Homo-oligomer: A and B are copies of this chain.
Amino acid sequence: MTVTIYDVAREAGVSMATVSRVVNNNPNVKPQTRKKVFEAIERLGYRPNAVARGLASKKTTTVGVVIPDISNAIFAEVARGIEDIANMYHYNIILCNADKKKDKEIRVINTLLEKQVDGLLFMGGTVTEEHSQAFKTANVPIVLCATTDENGEIPSVDIDHEAAAFDAVQVLIKQGHTSIGMISGTLQDPANGYARFQGYKRALQTAGISYDEELVRIGNYRYESGVDAMKYFLELPKRPTAVFSATDEMAIGAIHCIQDFGLKVPEDISVISVDNSRMASMVRPQLTAVAQPMYDIGAVSMRLLTKLMKKETVEHAKVVLPHEIVTRQSVGDK
């Protein structure tokens, strides 16, 4: 039924070892022999069995990717960066959605490890003690992607979320705004939630603006929650003149909410966010945002993982990618 390396060996009149060498591009094979083997392979339609190879060589050329939700544009972009680089280095990726749920994350990490992945890319919610524990029992390298661990022991690739938020709010402040609302993610989320909120507070503080908790609403990163948060702000007796959103999608919700209310962006209210997904230029007015290089985060973390898997020494196991402000049309003077 299935053609094995042994069949090829017999057909070509050589040993299994020789066929193996040919298949693996080992130079120690006489060209003539190589040719014979290739012909036999062709004739028999031989297809190497990667599972058997994996068992014998203890390498699967497969890496595991734990992702919150592939249907989220932001993560999908990271995934694409990962896959492109993986592909370049001849790795395949096993993708697992874990929805930032700790239990699910731990479960898939173990499954992935059972499948003998050569490395693991983890993109999730908080990295708890339990996560670290699971990582420790893996004897393959792990890279955190778009997250970091508190104690900074695990290699990671991310942006500085706090600074990104700080910079975004600074843009608003520079335009003269002093009443600045924030649509935040859950504070349980260390990167997209908590850190960005901290950046917001620090920017306010630096500018000598007092923090008003009435001006902070927690959303769930989705469009609708941006709409809801904005609705709340608009009904405030003294509503903010600018809003900082933790994500593009909520920002777009906010913009539409403002427009539906009969006000204009940025004339009446300015809006800025962090992300700069493709959607940012797909709204009117186009969204000014701090760009988070999602594709690069994926690509760089995969590249880092390849180095780790090859046991190359890496100087910077904690890489912080730069973010930048992309000025479009949603921010104006106070």
User: Which residues does A use to contact B, with CB under 8 Å?
Assistant: 1-2, 45, 47-52, 54-55, 60, 62, 69-73, 76-77, 79-80, 83-84, 87, 92-97, 110-116, 137, 139, 223, 249, 252-253, 256, 259-260, 278-279, 281-284, 295
Contacts and interface: CB of A to CB of B under 8 A. Distances in A.
30 contacts: A45-B137, A47-B110, A47-B113, A47-B114, A47-B137, A49-B55, A49-B114, A49-B116, A50-B115, A51-B55, A62-B115, A69-B80, A70-B83, A71-B76, A71-B79, A71-B80, A72-B76, A73-B76, A80-B97, A84-B97, A92-B96, A92-B115, A94-B95, A223-B282, A249-B282, A256-B284, A259-B284, A279-B282, A282-B283, A283-B283
Contacts of A83: 70, 95-97
A69 to B, nearest CB: 7
Nearest to A72: B76
Residue with the greatest number of chain B CB neighbours at <10 A, chosen from A48, A92, A94, A278: A92
Nearest to A1: B139
A79 B73 contact: no
Contacts of A111: 92
A312 B259 CA distance: 54
Which 3 A-B pairs rank lowest in CB-CB distance, beginning with the nearest? A71-B80, A76-B76, A95-B95
A265 to B, nearest CB: 11
A94 B97 contact: no
A30 B256 CA distance: 64
A33 B82 CA distance: 45
Contacts of A79: 70-71, 95
A62 B114 contact: no
Contacts of A284: 256, 259-260, 284
Contacts of A69: 80
A50 B114 contact: yes
A90 B55 CA distance: 22
Given A49-B114, A114-B48, A93 B92 contact: no
A51 B54 contact: yes
A282 B282 CA distance: 9
A281 B223 contact: yes
Given A114-B49, A116-B51, A94 B93 contact: yes
Residue with the greatest number of chain B CB neighbours at <10 A, chosen from A45, A70, A223, A252: A70
A52 to B, nearest CB: 5
